[in-house]
Each structure stands twice: as structure tokens, then as C-alpha cells.
């Protein structure tokens, strides 16, 4: 079996739920990001150096230089990974409309796999149209970017809260497991931790 070059099955939060991930470098692939760029966990620690960083840079480079090969490689590796759920962008975001169209084509190619992603690239998704997404590609609108005013709460969305007691009724806490976010949850809560928590305490 060949080594996976784009699809990751090593994220500690995702692996317990059998979720694979496809990642891009943080910040530079996040056109809708706001203050979150300052507190992005993917820019610190092991995520920001060595193999993890290089893995994501290679993925971005392949998309930019040969999008067709990018798509074909993903078809092969998604099949090889053998997961029933795939998360786009544990780091990074939807970088362009052409990139989103590849996400859509892959979901259509694998109708029995659930694909999902959190995004602040609201302008890009709106150009494509939430109503045009395949049934197995769930795009979760994430608050905290520069285009929050474009979020349509008729579709799935997520907010970050400082503490568990801050989560309003009706939200699903997905801080410890992404499985509900990938499947049934439409109002998603994430509790801030680590560097992300600084956004609440920094003045």
C-alpha cells in the first residue's frame, strides 16, 4: 500500500471517530479569516514546523500547479484511507471557487462518504450556492471571520465559546468530538482552548 501524501489519518481528535482529514497551510489559504489568524492553533507547536507544515505546503502546491492531479490523487487516497467520514481543513480553508468545485466533485464521486468542513470563506461558498452542494458535503459556516454578516443560519453554523456554561440552549458541543458536526448537528459550539482562548482574554 502506497503512503498517503494528502489525506491524513493522524489527528488525535478525529481519529477516535474514524475521520480522515485533508489539510492546507493555515492563514495563507484562509481568505475569509479575521482575528482568528492571530490565534490559530495550526500556526503553533508541531503543526507549524517540520513534517506537518511540509505536508500541507505540498498539498497546496499540487492544487495550484496541477489541480487535475490534485483531484485524482485525492480520489485514490480517500479510497485507500477507507474512512466513512472525511473532514476538509483541520487547518486551512476553501481557497477559491475552483477548489470548492473539486470538493464537490469528490463528494459526488464518493456518495457513501460524508464530507464536511468548517469555513469562513463565505463569499466563495455563496458564489457556488449552498443549495447546489451534494447531500454528502456539509459546509459549516464558522463565525469569527471578516464576512460574518454573510452567514445564513438556515444552514449549519458554528461559534466558539469561552466556557461550557456560555453555550446557549440548542447548540451541540463538538469540542471533544467532531462526529456530531460531521453528521446531524446544525448549531455547533466549540469551547476555546490553548492559544485560541487568548482571543477572549487579550485586550
Q: Per the structure, how many domains does the chain have?
A: 1
123-143: pLDDT as tens digits: 999 999 999 999 999 999 999
Helices (H) and strands (E) in the chain, counts: 7, 8
Domain that holds residue 67: 7-201
In a domain, 18, yes or no: yes
Over residues 27-52, the mean pLDDT reads: 69
Question: pTM for the full model?
Answer: 0.90
| Pairing assessment for the beta strands 187-191 and 114-119 based on DSSP bridges | unpaired
Cell (9 digits) for 35: 482575528
In a domain, 2, yes or no: no
pLDDT surpassing 60 at residue 182: yes
Please tell me the predicted confidence (pLDDT) of residue 1. 60
In a domain, 111, yes or no: yes
Q: How confident is the model at residue 200 (pLDDT cuts 50, 70, 90)?
A: very low
3-35: pLDDT as tens digits: 888 999 988 889 999 999 999 998 889 999 876
Over residues 116-123, the mean pLDDT reads: 98
Residues in the chain: 203
Least confident interval from 62-66, 143-147, 197-201: 197-201
Residue 90 DSSP SS3: coil
In a domain, 1, yes or no: no
The mean of the pLDDT values for the chain is 90
Cα-flanking dihedrals φ and ψ of residue 202, to 5°? -85, 135
In a domain, 19, yes or no: yes
Amino acid at each position: 500500500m502506497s503512503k498517503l501524501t494528502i489525506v491524513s489519518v493522524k489527528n488525535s481528535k478525529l481519529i477516535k471517530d474514524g475521520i480522515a482529514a485533508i489539510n492546507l497551510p493555515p492563514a495563507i489559504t484562509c481568505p475569509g479569516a479575521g482575528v482568528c489568524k492571530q490565534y490559530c492553533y495550526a500556526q503553533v507547536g508541531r503543526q507549524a514546523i517540520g513534517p506537518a507544515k511540509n505536508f500541507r505546503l505540498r498539498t497546496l502546491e499540487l492544487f495550484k500547479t496541477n489541480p487535475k492531479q490534485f483531484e485524482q490523487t485525492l480520489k485514490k487516497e480517500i479510497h485507500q484511507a477507507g474512512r466513512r467520514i472525511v473532514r476538509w481543513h483541520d487547518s486551512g480553508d476553501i481557497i477559491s471557487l475552483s477548489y470548492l468545485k473539486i470538493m464537490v466533485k469528490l463528494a459526488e464521486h464518493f456518495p457513501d462518504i460524508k464530507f464536511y468542513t468548517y469555513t469562513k470563506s463565505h463569499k466563495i461558498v455563496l458564489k457556488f450556492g449552498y443549495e447546489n452542494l451534494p447531500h454528502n458535503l456539509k459546509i459549516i459556516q464558522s463565525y469569527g471571520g471578516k464576512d460574518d454578516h454573510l452567514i445564513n443560519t438556515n444552514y449549519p453554523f458554528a461559534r466558539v465559546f469561552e466556557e461550557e456554561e456560555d453555550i446557549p440552549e440548542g447548540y451541540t458541543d463538538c469540542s471533544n468530538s467532531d462526529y456530531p458536526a460531521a453528521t446531524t448537528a446544525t448549531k455547533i459550539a466549540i469551547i476555546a482552548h490553548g492559544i485560541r482562548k487568548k482571543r477572549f482574554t487579550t485586550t
